[in-house]
Structure 1
Amino acid sequence: MKSKIILTGGSGLLAVNWTVSMRETHEIIILLHEREIAIAGVTAEKVDIGSYEELKVVLSKYQPEIVIHTAGLTSVETCESNPTLANLVNVEISSNVALVTKQLGIKMVHISTDHLFDGTHPLLSEEIIPSPLNVYGFTKELAERKVLETHPQALVIRTNFYGWGTSYRKSFSDMIIFSLREKKQITLYSDVYYSPIYVNKLISCVHALISRDAKGIFNVVSDSRISKYEFGLNIASEFNLDTSFIREGLLAPNNHIVKRPLDMSLSNQKVSTFTGMQIGNVKDHIKLMKLQEQDSSTTEIQHL
C-alpha cells in the first residue's frame, strides 16, 4: 500500500511539482484554498488550514503519514505592506498545522526560506541565529520557532528552489527562459547571492531526510553560491539562449524599497552528511532541468 502525503498550498509551484513527481510512489492529497486545480491521480480538498476544526477533520479522514506544509505568503512586498496578513499566513497557520499534526501523531515537514539573515556572511549553517531584515523574513523565522516548539519532531527545510512553473505561476527560471526566448531584455542582480536548488532535487533530498527520521532544521540547497546574474547566464548557456539580453544590475542602490539581504547563500553540509547524498551544483541541476523540459510531467505542470 502506498504511503499517504498531504500537501498544503496545493496549487503552489512547490506543491504541484512535488505532487507530480511523487504520485506514482505515494498517495497524494493536496489541500487547496482559493485556486482550484485538478491533477490526474491526485485527490484535492478545499480546506481552510487556518481552522483547527477543518484541518483536524481532513487529516483524521485521510490519516497521512506526512504533511508537507508548503503554504505561505512569499511576496516580500506584500508582507511588508500587510504585516498582519503575513503573520496570519506564515506564523499562525503554520502553528495550527504543527498543532494538529502533533496531536494526531503525523510527521510534519515545514518549508521555510533562505531569507532569514542580514546578508553579511555567505554559506551560513543551521546553527547561525537568524537576523531577518524584513517582515517576510521575520515571520518565516518566527514560524520556524513556533513549529518546532509545538511539534519537536517536525522537519524544517530552509531552501530556495526553481523549476518549471504553471500557466498561472511562473518561476524565476521560467521568467529568464521565456524572456530570452522572446528576445526581451531582463535585468539580474550581480550583488545578490544565493544557493538555489532544482525543485526535483529538493524533493528527493527531503524524502531522504524523511526516510532517516530527520527532525529539526536542515538547509536543502545546492553546492553553489551564485549571484542572480550568474544564475541567468548559466540558464542561458544550457538552453542556448542569447546572453546579450541579460543586463547586469545592482540591488544595493534600490534596497531602500524593502530591505533585502544581499547574500542568502546557505551551507548544505549538514544535509549532505546526514543523508550521504551528493547534492550537486547549479550547472548540474540546470542540465537536469533542460533534460526534463520535454517530459510529459513537465508539460502537464505547464498546462495547469
Structure 2
Amino acid sequence: MAQHSANSRNHSSVRRGVQAGNPGMTRILVTGASGLLGLNFALTYSRRHQVTGVVNAHSLTGAPFQVLNADLAKPGSIGEILDRVKPDVVLHCAALANVDQCERQPELALRLNTDLPEEVARATADRGIVLVHISTDAVFDGKTGRYTEESQPNPLGAYARTKLAAEHAVLQAYPEALIARVNFYGWSLGGQRSLAEFFFNHLSAGTPVRGFTDVFFCPLEVTVLAETLMQLVEAHCSGIYHVVSGECLSKYEFGCAVARRFGLDEGLIQPVSVHEGGLLAARSPDLRLRTDKLAGVLGSPAPDQETSMQRFFELYQAGHPQQLRALALGVDSHISG
C-alpha cells in the first residue's frame, strides 16, 4: 500500500491550473452535490471556479453551477462524466452516510462507500486528475482520542468499516490522491441534516433536546472545510489528512455553543450519556483528532470552533438556509456565483 505521507504530486501527470493565486478558473467536479457536504462545496467553489455538480435523486434548479444527473453506481458512469467535463479536480463526496442505514443495508454501504470510491480513484488516476476523497473521523473506535494520521484505525460499524476500506482502495488505485478525514456541520437542502441544524431547529421551537456529554468530536462548518480543503489542493498535498477543527468539544457543549451564538435557551439541552441514546449503530465516543499535519500545510493552527460557529451564524443571517431550500424547490435562489 502507498505511504500516507505528505508527498508532492507528480505535476507532469496532473492537470495545470490548481495552484494558489492562479488567475485562471479551475474546473472542479463535485459528486454528491445535493448533499449537505457536496452542495456547500459546489456553492463555495463556484464563486471562483468552474464547477459541475453530480446529483442522482435531486434536481437543483437555479444553482450557480452546472448540474449533471447521473447514477454513479452504474458501471462506466464516472469515466463518461470525467471525459465529458474534463475537470482539473474531483471532490468525491457521494456516500451512504446514514450510519443506521449502513447497518441495515451493508451490501449497499459497501457498494457506495468502498467500491465506488475505488472506481473514482482509478478513473481519475488514469486521466491525471486531482482527487480529493472524503473520509471520516469514524474510522477510529474512539477509545483514546488524540489520533494522528498514523494512528491505527479500528472502525466500529458498517459505515466506518466501508469508509476505511475505501481509504485503502483509493490509495492503492491512486497513491497521489488526497484523503480527508472530516467531521462537519452546516445548512442543508432540507434543513435537518446536520447536528447544528438539529439543535437549532429544536431550540428555536422551544423544544427540549438531549446532548451527549461523553461523545467528543472536532467539527468544522462545511464552507470553512471547503476552503481548507482547497488550500491543501493548491499545496499539492496527497495522502491522509485530518481536516477538522483544532478544537474539540462534546456534543452537549456543541449544542450549547449553537444556543449561545443564536441567542437561544441552552437550558433546554439535557446533558445525557450516549448510552441513553438508543442508537442502532455503535458510535465512537472520543474522536478528538490531532491536526498538526494540517497546520503544517496551512502555516497556522486549524480553524477553531468560534470561527466555524460564526460562519454558520453569518450564513443564517445572509439567508443561506432559505436559498438552499429554494434550490430544492426549483425556485430562483439568487445565490451569487
Q: Could you state the TM-score of these two structures normalised by the residue count of structure 1?
A: 0.95
- Which ranges of structure 1 fall in alignment gaps of 5 or more residues? none
Identity in percent: 30
Per the alignment, residue 145 of structure 1 pairs with: 168
Question: Contact 2:189/2:321 (CA < 8 Å) preserved in 1?
Answer: no
Question: What does 1:1-304 correspond to in 2, within 5 Å?
Answer: 1-167=24-190, 169-253=192-276, 257-304=280-327
Shift of residue 221, structure 1, vs aligned partner: 0.6
Q: 1:243 to 1:8 in 2, by over 3 A?
A: same
Alignment-mate amino acid for residue 50 of structure 1:
A
Task: Say which SS state the counterpart of residue 79 (structure 2) adopts.
Answer: helix
Distance 1:39 1:210, change over 3 A: farther
Deviation of residue 92 (structure 1)?
Answer: 0.6
**What amino acid maps onto 2:161 in structure 1?**
F
Q: Which amino acid aligns with 2:51?
A: I
Secondary structure at 2:149 match in 1? coil
Residues 134, 255 of structure 1: CA spacing in aligned structure 2 closer, same or farther, 3 A cutoff? Answer: farther
Give the aligned length.
Answer: 304
CA contact (8 A) 1:123 1:225 kept: no
Q: Give the SS at the match of 2:165.
A: helix
Q: Deviations over 1:80-138 (max 9, x none)?
A: 11111110010011111111111111111000011111111112110011101111111
1:13–1:169 CA contact under 8 A, matched in 2 = no
**1-structure distance, mates of 2:62, 2:293:** 34
| Structure 2 unmatched runs, 5+ | 1-23, 328-337
Shift of 1:256: 7.5
Moved segments of 4+, more than 4 Å: 253-256
- What do residues 9-33 of structure 1 show as CA deviations (whole Å, max 9, x unaligned)? 1100111111111112111101111
Give RMSD over aligned pairs: 1.6
Deviations 1:25-66 (A, max 9, x none): 111101111222234331111122223422211111111000
| Higher RCO (CA-CA < 8 Å; seq separation 6+) | 2
Pair 1:181–1:298, CA change in 2 (3 A): closer
Partner of 2:6: none
In 2: Cα distance, 1:30 partner to 1:49 partner = 12
- Counterpart amino acid of 2:143? T
Q: What CA distance in whole angstroms lies between the structure 1 residues aligned with 2:319 and 2:262?
A: 19
- Secondary structure at the aligned position of 1:112 is classed as strand
- Give the structure-2-normalised TM-score: 0.86
SS of residue paired to 1:266: coil
Between the aligned partners of 2:158 and 2:77, the Cα distance in structure 1 is 28
